[in-house]
Structure 1
Amino acid sequence: MEPDLFTAAAEDRQEKDPAGSPLAVRMRPRTLDEVVGQQHLLKPGSPLRRLVGEGNGGPAGPSSVFLWGPPGIGKTTLAYVVSQATNKRFVELSAITAGVKEVRAVIDGARRASGGFGKETVLFLDEIHRFSKAQQDSLLPAVENRWVTLIAATTENPYFSVISPLLSRSLLLTLEPLTDDDLRGLLRRALTDPRGLDGAVTLPEDTEAHLLRIAGGDARRALTALEAGAGSALAKGEKEITLRTLEESVDRAAVKYDRDGDQHYDVASALIKSIRGSDVDAALHYLARMIEAGEDPRFIARRLMISASEDIGLADPSALQTAVAAAQAVALIGFPEARITLSQATIALALAPKSNAAYLAIDAALADVRAGNAGAVPPHLRDSHYQGAQKLGHGQGYQYPHDLPGGIAAQQYAPDEVQGKRYYSPTRHGAEARYAEVAERVRARLRGADGEGAGA
């Protein structure tokens, strides 16, 4: 049996008994105008509009489209809308479970449908990045000959995960994460729309805020949670989905956390202070609260990078590398997987030896500069690469450290006003103990304290 027959049968059941379908299915957009978010793709004359035949000239463009973005933001929905708008058969496959055999069966069915009934097919292939190169190669004839309109979805960068011949023949559309405003509009539409809850219940502001937090930018998750909360409320004879009812129905307690208020700063402060205090378990607790409350993972990553320099510094120089790598990874993968990366970085920072010497050093130097202690640069350190510099005495007497044994020249580097001032006072914690020893030896050599002078 062809895979598309299953899809057709399911859609037929949903049309006959829409009330029996999940809320997320019932609220699936029927036109591009009903799509939530992705306004950058839905402007008049956009490639997506042209693909469904809007604008001058009717349907146009490539027969293959790649939708790239995080889960739950409407990739399947867009594919379905394209099939509905163009009156084409809609066949959905997942690269997780389907192989070349299933793909070829769909393509053969599409060719028969096109030849026998004049009905074209939209093949929606989810998670295409999971297909091997050979499996992706099997799609090329269908794309080149326009036997199907291929709409492929991926959560990974297609330039790394999709073969070049297939990608070069396709239109790549990047989908953006849904905002809270996008999801809020979707929830309110679902509450009143006859296809949805049709006004059966209301959603107070605090319950709506919690729903947005637990949705994490995922439209399906938001509608599923709303449906669960509505079912629980109606079962208790209530017309309002209270916060307690929603918590009970989705089994996730509301985190008291306002991303724009005191809790935002209090919990972030507690996270950093727990890392500074080396309490790894407390740090993970506050990290979990921020994640559960829907905090922007990039904000958390930025705080960790600051902590790596402010509280750890040279006691463990790799801490900053870890934090920066975590920030880069978070930007690439997003939630929910980013929680693992943030956890790794938080644990590493909490258990690292601590030093605020770098933080204190720059603030001490800044204090002197702001107080006016910023004297003239010593003449031998001034730029000597321009005409006339020699007449001014610039660069004269400068000793090139690389020409000397040990690579250190005992000469004055700081202005007279701060000569001999110590800003950096290293701790003896972790790797900084070595930096402390080196700093003392170098300072002694710079003063010529060992009696060997400039050639030391």
Structure 2
Amino acid sequence: MADLFSSPGLDDDPGTGGDVPTVLAGAPLAVRMRPRSIDEVVGQQHLLGPGSPLRRLASEEELGRAGPASVILWGPPGTGKTTLAHVLARSGGRRFAELSAVTAGVKDVRKVMEEARDGRDLYRRQTVLFLDEIHRFTKAQQDALLPGVENRWVVLVAATTENPNFSVVTPLLSRSLLLTLQPLDDDDVRGLLERAVADPRGLAGEVELSPEALAHLVRLADGDARRALTALEAAAGTAFDDASAGPPRITLAHAETALDRAAVRYDRAGDQHYDVASALIKSMRGSDVDAALHYLARMLEAGEDPRFIARRIVISASEDVGMADPSALQTAVAALHAVAQIGMPEARIILAQAVVHNAVAPKSNAVYNGIGAAIADVRGGLAGTVPPHLRDAHYSGAARLGHGKGYQYSHDAPAGVAEQQYAPDELVGRDYYVPTDRGFEAQVRERLTRLRRIVRGR
């Protein structure tokens, strides 16, 4: 089910308000449809099978044993993190406490821990502490949780949309079960919406949902149950307003009004930032121009800094296209400067041109491999001394040291290329740049073969 907002009046009659239909008054639909038991949870079946940690945590029998472990729920919005926390709190008469890492401090954490300890010692009552957005907690704040978790004063249920391996301190991570939640599939979302239409806690059958509207809501929900229910409620409100006679019917037009565009799942400061940027680069490298434009659009719609995108495109132009199409770097650099001068929204066109150029260009990583091999040799000690004839001969005393003696000025040679040793003795004959036979680099390869023959005197 969805990661939904809590409501103290979850089981109360929502009441009515003026001309607003009863089913649309009071608590939001997403809150009213929150599961009351583990069996009502939609999706996440990989975590809810018989004997699973969550099943055991939700079981009253677990209270008589060593005590349930704490868990960290990692997943995108709308996948059930808050819902699962409430389900666990309902089991066995546990006390439920909730903190948000956005507003809570160390003092708040310690207060909850003290109350939980007193509740356990005085009333043998366990406390479930739900901590939302734990990745926003500092190290000191997370450390304040350790005594309560280690001594089992609380069952910590922490939620995060970011990879806990990077955002949660190791001692806390090692004392908790890390459970990964997945976006709901289309069948889960569809079933949830149909149940919300019929369920007395939901729309109680007072509105019809057309197949076209249902399909549209499922598609734009993008695996987010809360978004699906919120959109359904908004569409139902529009349908009630338009209804003249008979039961209101949610049409495709109503659904489109409720969800005029899909919210982009993307976190500029988290995993999605790097995942989508990586997908953009790899799509350009793989010559899939359509996928590359998709990931560019996702980044732009999420508010990503267009200058960051432009810098990534410049890197790709050299790393993945290189000399197979040298003009790709020119396009990318031009885009970098143009974006800085123009800004959004017009910058999207410039970035798209650079992405398309990189994607459709012939590919070569020969330049990337060449500098990598050269650096590896230098780091491995294969440097050697500069040959005397290449050394600086412009300062006083250089001639006496033999610097520059025997140097062949290339422009004096018939083809502008002279036979001469340039590399240190230890590296003579070593080839770092190995051009491909793709695009312009095929011509470079042919010319480079001739150049090496002349320079090396073969």
Shared fold (TM-score, shorter chain, > 0.5): yes
Residue deviations 1:406-434, cap 9 Å, x none? 447xxxxxxxxxxxxx993633xxxx5xx
Report the residue type matching 1:250 in the other structure.
L
In 2, are the aligned partners of 1:49 and 1:55 still within 8 Å (CA)? no
| Partner residue of 1:424 out of 437, 452, 455 | 437
Q: Does 1:85 align with 2:91?
A: yes
Which one-letter code corresponds to 2:139 in the other structure?
A: K
Structure 1 residue corresponding to 2:224, chosen from 218, 226, 232? 218
TM-score after normalising by structure 2: 0.60
Instruction: Report the equivalent of 2:448.
Output: 442
1:142-187 deviation line (CA, Å, top 9, x unaligned):
1122211111111122122111111111111111221111111111
Match of 1:251 in 2: 260
2:174 is the counterpart of 1:165:
no
Aligned partners of 1:64 and 1:286: how far apart in 2? 36
Structure 1 residue runs of 5 or longer lacking an equivalent are: 1-6, 255-271, 293-303, 323-341, 359-401, 409-421
**Structure 1 CA distance, aligned partners of 2:155 and 2:177?**
11
Check the 8 A contact 2:77/2:161 in 1, yes or no.
Answer: yes
Q: Provide the C-alpha distance between the structure 2 equivalents of 1:53 and 1:203, rounded to a whole number of angstroms.
A: 36
RMSD (Å), alpha carbons: 4.4
CA distance in 1 between counterparts of 2:99 and 2:193 reads 28
The residue aligned with 1:76 is 82
- Classify 1:159/1:347 alpha carbon distance in 2 versus 1 (closer, same or farther; 3 Å): farther
Does the CA-based 8 Å contact 2:293-2:355 persist in structure 1?
Answer: no
2:36 equivalent to 1:30: yes
TM-score by length of 1: 0.61
1:215 Cα deviation from its structure 2 partner: 1.4
1:110 aligns with 2:116: yes
In the aligned structure 1, how far is the partner of 2:156 from the partner of 2:82? Answer: 12
Give the whole-Å Cα distance in 2 for the aligned partners of 1:159 and 1:250: 34
Q: Distance in 2 between matches of 1:226 and 1:42?
A: 27
Hey, what does 1:297 align to over in structure 2? none
1:17 pairs with 2:14: yes
The count of corresponding residues between Structure 1 and Structure 2 is 327
- Residues 357-383 of structure 1 show CA distances to partners (whole Å, capped at 9, x for unaligned) of 77xxxxxxxxxxxxxxxxxxxxxxxxx
Give 1:115 shift: 4.0
Q: For 1:110 and 1:146, how far apart are their aligned partners in 2?
A: 9
Letter in structure 1 aligned against 2:219: R
Say if 1:63 and 1:148, in contact at 8 Å, map to a contact too: no
Structure-2 change in CA distance of 1:198 and 1:290 (3 Å): farther
Relative to structure 1, the CA distance from residue 17 to residue 70 in structure 2 (aligned partners, 3 Å threshold; closer, same or farther) is same
* 1:239 counterpart letter in structure 2: P
SS at match of 1:208: helix
Contact 1:64 1:171 in 2 (8 A): yes
Distance 2:167 2:298 in 1: 34
- Which one-letter code corresponds to 2:165 in the other structure? Y
- Out of 31-40 and 112-121, give the one that drifted further: 112-121
Distance of 1:130 and 1:28 partners within structure 2: 25
Cα distance in 2 between the residues matched to 1:344 and 1:138: 49
TM-superposed deviation, 1:141: 1.1
Which aligned pairs between 1:132-143 and structure 2 lie closer than 5 A? 132-143=138-149
Alignment of 1:336-355 (within 5 A): 348-350=354-356, 352=358, 355=361
Deviation at 1:233, TM superposition (A): 0.5
Which residue of structure 2 aligns with residue 391 of structure 1? Answer: none
Looking at structure 1, the residues matched to 65 and 121 of structure 2 have their Cα atoms a distance apart, in angstroms, of 19
| Aligned 8 A contact 1:184 1:212 in 2 | yes
CA spacing shift, 1:316–1:161, aligned 2, 3 Å: farther
Q: Indicate the percent of aligned positions where both proteins have the same amino acid.
A: 55
Q: 1:53 aligns with which of 56, 59, 78?
A: 59
Q: Distance in 2 between matches of 1:170 and 1:317?
A: 52
Q: CA deviation at 1:203?
A: 1.8
Task: Name whichever structure is richer in helix by fraction.
Answer: 1
Match of 1:189, SS state, is: helix
CA distance in 1, matches of 2:298, 2:154: 46
1:207 maps to which of 213, 228, 231: 213
- Report the 3-state secondary structure (helix = DSSP H, G, I; strand = E; otherwise coil) of the residue aligned with 2:12: helix
Equivalent in the alignment of 1:315:
325
Distance in 2 between the 1:96 and 1:208 partners? 35
- Which residue is equivalent to 2:378? none
Following superposition of structure 1 onto structure 2, how do residues 358-373 of structure 1 map, counting pairs within 5 Å? Answer: none
* Paired amino acid for 1:83: A
Matched, 1:198 2:204: yes
Task: Say which of 160, 177, 186 aligns to 1:154.
Answer: 160
Aligned partner of 1:241 in structure 2 is: 250
Preserved contact between residue 123 and residue 149 of structure 1 (Cα < 8 Å): yes
Q: Distance in 1 between matches of 2:207 and 2:195?
A: 12
With over 3 angstroms needed to count, the CA separation of the structure-2 counterparts of 1:154 and 1:312, relative to structure 1, is same
